[in-house]
Amino acid sequence: MASPHPSAAASAVPSGLGFDAIPTPMAVVSRDLMIEEANAAFAELMQAPAASLIHEQLAGRLRTPATTCPSPAATARWSGRADGPG
């Protein structure tokens, strides 16, 4: 009898299904949030070649500090204090 769970081989390689061509930034991560696969849009967002992201911790990539801060006017708009709805 066949297993109700997909085989690891069937689900391990999303790139064969056009994963890299998807315009939305996407990454496949392991249970411990290690990047296993990243598409070109995700690599562009992270400003790094996709191959260099493989086996890197996702949290390390997402915690890169910003180089510029938003202006006070921009933060006021986002908080709804000026020029914003409500």
What residue has token string 């000026």? 82
22, part of any domain: yes
38 occurs within a structural domain: yes
User: How buried is 27 (Cβ within 10 angstroms: 0-12 exposed, 13-18 middle, 19+ buried)?
Assistant: buried
Instruction: Provide the domain count of the chain.
Output: 1
Residue 47: inside a domain: yes
pLDDT digits (tens, 9 = 90+) for 24-65: 999 999 999 999 999 999 999 999 999 999 999 998 888 756
Domain limits for position 45: 15-59
Write the CATH number for 43: 3.30.450.20
pLDDT, tens digit (0-9, with 9 covering 90-100), for 3-28: 454 444 444 445 456 888 889 999 99
Answer yes or no: are the C-beta atoms of 42 and 50 closer than 8 Å.
yes
Distance between alpha carbon 24 and the CA centroid of its chain, in Å? 9
